[in-house]
Amino acid sequence: MITHHWSYPISAIADRNSAEKNFMEIIIGSDHAGFDLKEACKAHLESLDDYIVRDIGVFNKDSSDYPKVAQKLARSIADGKYSHGILICGSGLGMSIVANRYKGVRAALCHNLYLARMARMHNDANVLVMGERVIGWGLALEMVDLFLKTPFEGGRHKLRLDLIDKG
CATH of the domain at 96: 3.40.1400.10
pLDDT tens sequence across 53-73: 999 999 999 999 999 999 999
Stated pTM of the model: 0.87
20 or 89, which is more confident? 89
Average pLDDT over residues 146-160: 93
Residue 4 maps to a domain: no
What are the tens digits of pLDDT across the range 3-24?
A: 333 333 333 444 544 456 789 9
Contact status, residue 53 vs residue 12, Cβ threshold 8 Å: no
User: Has residue 105 been placed in a domain?
Assistant: yes
Q: Which of 3-17, 41-55, 129-143 has the lowest mean pLDDT?
A: 3-17
Residue 95 lies in a domain: yes
Cα separation, 108 vs 115, whole angstroms = 8
Please indicate, yes or no, if residue 132 is contained in any of the structural domains.
yes
Q: Which residues are catalytic?
A: 89, 122
